[in-house]
Amino acid sequence: MNKGMKIPKYQLFIHPLDLSEIRKDIWIDDSVPAKLTINEKKFDIDIAYRGSHIRDFRKNHFKYRFINRVRIER
């Protein structure tokens, strides 16, 4: 591994009201708006639960979609 490479920092923010909405019924595929920050660069995204049988698990998987086309550089 290159010693000069830094591990990217990812942060996800879902507004508490949107988080409540998505948690009301985990079986609905509707997405909610969110913010994804990658190394301090912010992106508007839509986020929803992913998969079917895994939605009952304690740790959930999500699918997301960038609102605008973006290029993420490493």
Query: What does the pLDDT read at residue 45?
Result: 92
User: What pLDDT does 43 receive?
Assistant: 92
Q: Is 22 exposed, middle or buried (0-12, 13-18, 19+ CB in 10 A)?
A: buried
Query: 32: which residues sit within 8 A by CB, 6+ positions away?
Result: 14, 15, 18, 19, 21, 22, 46, 47, 48
User: Angle at CA 71, nearest 5°, toward 50 and 8?
Assistant: 70
Domain range annotation of the chain: 10-66
pLDDT by residue for the chain (74 residues), tens only, comes to 567 778 889 999 999 999 999 888 877 888 899 999 999 899 999 998 776 655 565 555 677 777 776 665 55
pLDDT of residue 29: 81
Handedness of CA 47, 24, 59, 49 (dihedral sign): negative
